[in-house]
Structure 1
Amino acid sequence: MESVTFVNRKTREKIVEQIPSAGMLKFLYSSALGKASLQLLFKRKIVSSIGGWYMNSKGSKNKIENFIKEYNMDMSEYICPENGFSSFNDFFYRKIKPEARPIGDGVVSPADGKLLAFNTIKESNNFFIKGSEFTAKSFLKDETLAKKYENGAMVIIRLAPVDYHRFHMPASGEISESKLINGDYYSVSPLALKKSLEIFCENIREYSILKTSENGDILVSEVGATMVGSIIQTYKPNTKIEKGSEKGYFAFGGSTLVLFFEEGKVKLDEDLIENTKNGFETVVKMGEKIGI
């Protein structure tokens, strides 16, 4: 397996993450035959739909115990049904005990994962191998809305399959309805993203606007990927919500959250910016402060 290095925020230790199916990902995103296979099959909804069907089946329960052992998961953090989980997906989007994720000051991470922080969206193009330029306009498919965020900060949070897969509100405010942008189902593995951040502009995604009194209008987007069965929104649109309250969850697969901030409305924490400039993601937990 190929590896990626990230930073443990608390200890500042650099940790090597082994990427599952690295050989397959290199084949799909680097070779001519792999790229052809990607276009013809792997990016398509049917592959993820079949995977999602199996992960919702009773037969998939057999995978849970080995998954917990392989990743040495601390299940004491989670709410486990008395009779056990009904399927692997039921386990995958398990709920967490509130005390396991205290909500910090300022703007907080909406999810557990590995985070990249940029003072401006344009700076993100320096982190990845040169390809198509990533812009708010190409991501949102809305020129007027894009202008609102094009000079603002951006946060990307990558959720690995082992992570807690529910996502929450990064601040208190009034949340809009969620808008769907249809697209493909490319992998959002770091090995795929190294080729181009433009994958985010091609994958299926949803976004909502969180209107806050202190941090302006925060755009919260969920990005689907290969083997992500669904993006499920559980919040009530056009209502006032509290920071840390649940927004929704991803069904099986690796997934990503993207946050856009208006210019001058948030100052992201310096350690997150510095780690990103040095080429490293930072491990964060839902509810952990990421900016003011």
Structure 2
Amino acid sequence: MEIQFINRATKELITERPPGEDLLRFLYGNPVGEALVLPIAKRKFISDWYGKKMDSPSSVSRIEPFVSSLNIDMSESEKQIDEFTSFNDFFYRKLKPGARKIEEGLVSPGDGKLLVFEKASEVNSFFVKGERFTLEQFLEDEKLAEQYKDAAMAILRLAPNDYHRYHFPYPGIPSPCHEIGKDYYSVSPISLERKFTKVFTKNKREICRLKTAGKGEMLIIPVGATMVGSLNSTFTPESPVKKGEEMGYFAFGGSTIVLLFDSAKFTFDKDLIENTRNHFETAVRMGEKIASE
């Protein structure tokens, strides 16, 4: 399986080569890797251990090769390579003020590859591997799942080379985050293609309810992944936030942010719907419009 996505600006089809691709194929596509190694790799202590390694001062030596091999644009970063104190300090780097334009409508909460579904139930027609995905499994809350059963759903996948801070996609008043899940499956397309239901119903995640003016309530759900030791919120609950204001950051590894909202209040952009229906993710940037009001 080739990992391909659409460059939204140029409409080009791009082939992605994720770091550790061969290992991921072994873990998620090989019976030996899946049976013997994956049960260990997904556990929290592995991500915590690796996270501590990436916090050590000696990890700065990994930054320059990582930037070079993945062609990361450092011109947007507040700090430059020689100013970081650890690999994680680089990994969840901040952008320079004004580096991103916050557009009209509902915007992307981060940089990454996006899938959009006008109804959350459509996810099962995209990831077809026998086991059905349900909101009740994902949210671990029967009443909340019933409330959002007809909601629109956006899934933003952050690759290791992406900017790893995430932001509010719309203004409102956020609730405290409710933490659920405990595992750390990879969120690479290699694992999603084979283990989608497990990734989104077992991985550690936080549910934040954003109350908006006139658009109802929206759920913002950061999802951890292999080698992401923690989800780190940086906002103040129950205090108003602006669109584009920082919400939190992920430590080392790939990650995901899921949005659920009233499909009658926002309409996804047509190119995003079309790309998803054609089984392609779309590359978007934080602050870029993904749905109209």
TM-score (norm 2): 0.96
1:40 positional shift: 3.3
Which residue identity lines up with residue 86 of structure 1 in the other structure? T
Greater Cα offset, 87-96 or 255-264: 255-264
SS in 1 for 2:124: helix
Distance 1:217 1:7 in 2: 30
Q: For residues 175 and 31 of structure 1, do their structure 2 counterparts lie closer, same or farther at Cα, with a shift above 3 Å needed?
A: same
Deviations 1:50-99 (A, max 9, x none): 11010000110001111111122221101016961000000000000132
8 Å contact from structure 1 (residues 9, 282) kept in 2: yes
8 Å contact from structure 2 (residues 55, 89) kept in 1: yes
Which residue identity lines up with residue 77 of structure 2 in the other structure? Y
Distance 2:69 2:284 in 1: 21
Deviations 1:103-123 (A, max 9, x none): 000000000000000011111
Distance 2:82 2:115 in 1: 38
8 Å contact from structure 2 (residues 116, 276) kept in 1: yes
**1:213-292 equivalences in 2 (<5 Å):** 213-292=213-292
Show structure 2 runs of 5+ residues with no match.
none
Q: What is the aligned length?
A: 291
1:10 positional shift: 1.0
8 Å contact from structure 1 (residues 184, 203) kept in 2: yes
Distance 2:31 2:14 in 1: 32
Show structure 1 runs of 5+ residues with no match.
none
Which residue identity lines up with residue 229 of structure 1 in the other structure? G
Q: For residues 70 and 138 of structure 1, do their structure 2 counterparts lie closer, same or farther at Cα, with a shift above 3 Å needed?
A: same
Distance 1:40 1:10 in 2: 39
Pair 1:98 & 2:97 matched: yes
Cross-structure match for 2:88: 89
Distance 2:186 2:203 in 1: 9
Greater Cα offset, 279-288 or 75-84: 75-84
Q: For residues 15 and 81 of structure 1, do their structure 2 counterparts lie closer, same or farther at Cα, with a shift above 3 Å needed?
A: closer
Pair 1:76 & 2:79 matched: no
Distance 2:267 2:195 in 1: 26
1:32 positional shift: 2.4
Deviations 1:171-207 (A, max 9, x none): 0011100000032111111000001321111111101
Cross-structure match for 1:207: 207
Q: For residues 99 and 122 of structure 1, do their structure 2 counterparts lie closer, same or farther at Cα, with a shift above 3 Å needed?
A: same
Distance 1:166 1:23 in 2: 27
Which residue identity lines up with residue 270 of structure 1 in the other structure? K
Q: Please report the RMSD computed on the Cα atoms of aligned residues, expressed in angstroms.
A: 1.4
TM-score (norm 1): 0.96
Distance 2:81 2:138 in 1: 42
**1:1-292 equivalences in 2 (<5 Å):** 3-80=2-79, 84-198=83-197, 199-292=199-292
8 Å contact from structure 2 (residues 118, 263) kept in 1: no
SS in 2 for 1:249: strand
Q: For residues 214 and 93 of structure 1, do their structure 2 counterparts lie closer, same or farther at Cα, with a shift above 3 Å needed?
A: same
8 Å contact from structure 1 (residues 128, 196) kept in 2: no
Q: Percent identity?
A: 50
Which residue identity lines up with residue 266 of structure 1 in the other structure? F
8 Å contact from structure 1 (residues 166, 249) kept in 2: yes
Q: For residues 89 and 82 of structure 1, do their structure 2 counterparts lie closer, same or farther at Cα, with a shift above 3 Å needed?
A: closer
Distance 1:274 1:215 in 2: 24
Distance 1:261 1:107 in 2: 10
SS in 2 for 1:95: coil
SS in 2 for 1:75: coil
Q: For residues 214 and 38 of structure 1, do their structure 2 counterparts lie closer, same or farther at Cα, with a shift above 3 Å needed?
A: farther
1:38 positional shift: 4.1
1:36 positional shift: 1.6
